[in-house]
Structure 1
Amino acid sequence: MNRSHGPAFRAAQLDLAHCPACRGRAVIKGVFHELACVQCNASGWISVDTGEALPLEVLVTQLSIRLQAADHQLAHFRKLTPCGASQQYELNNRRGAGGSNYTGD
């Protein structure tokens, strides 16, 4: 075992699962209106290891880590350039009226 003093240098990503009570919606349907789910602190997420709601400080950090990973993945997909016929279709070939794009449609 490694011994260390103080907090970790990086926050570790915990495994999260949807709350079984609200099914990840963060609210439970009441008789007249929706109520905040008390089993997951109205977040829709619980810890996979313990099955309990995360403290709010930890939950905010974990959701931020997941959001940053999703933003990184979206940026990666947006950088991909189309290839093949779609690439030629999107480029300006200056064959249309006034030098605009002509696609032959």
Structure 2
Amino acid sequence: MKRSHGPAFRAAQLDLAKCPTCHGRAVIKGVFHELACVQCNASGWLTAETGEALPLEVLVTQLSIRLQAAEHHIAELSCFKPAGAEAQYNKNNRRGAGGTNYTGD
């Protein structure tokens, strides 16, 4: 293990697993209402290696890292632009009745 002084320069992404008690829902079913899961500190996530609940400061950081990665992935997928026949099929060519799209189907 490397020795270092002070905090790390970058926050490392930890492996998280869904809580087996609440199945990642953060609440468990009580008799009359839902209760906060005490196994995972009502977050739905545990560390994958040890199965322990994360401290709230670390949990917020880890969830933020995961959210940013998911938003980046969604942004990559949403910038897909159709090409070729698909682009022509969806684009309005104004050849139909009243200047609408005519696809020839």
Residue in 1 that maps onto 2:95? 95
Deviation at 1:54, TM superposition (A): 0.2
Residue in 2 that maps onto 1:69? 69
What's the % identity of the aligned pairs? 78
Deviation at 1:101, TM superposition (A): 2.5
Deviation at 1:97, TM superposition (A): 4.1
Which residue identity does 2:39 align to in structure 1? Q
Per-residue Cα deviation, 1:1-58 (whole angstroms, up to 9, x for no partner): 4332111111000000000000000000000000000000000000011100000000
CA distance in 2, matches of 1:43, 1:23: 11
Residue in 2 that maps onto 1:56? 56
- Where 1:17 maps in the other structure, the secondary structure is strand
CA distance in 2, matches of 1:77, 1:85: 20
CA distance in 2, matches of 1:32, 1:84: 58
Residue in 1 that maps onto 2:28? 28
Instruction: Name the stretch that deviates more: 65-74 or 2-11.
Output: 2-11
CA distance in 2, matches of 1:94, 1:82: 19
Q: Which runs of 5+ in 1 are unaligned?
A: none
- Where 2:8 maps in the other structure, the secondary structure is coil
CA distance in 2, matches of 1:27, 1:2: 39
Q: How many residues align?
A: 105
Residue in 2 that maps onto 1:9? 9
- Where 2:103 maps in the other structure, the secondary structure is coil
CA distance in 1, matches of 2:42, 2:83: 44
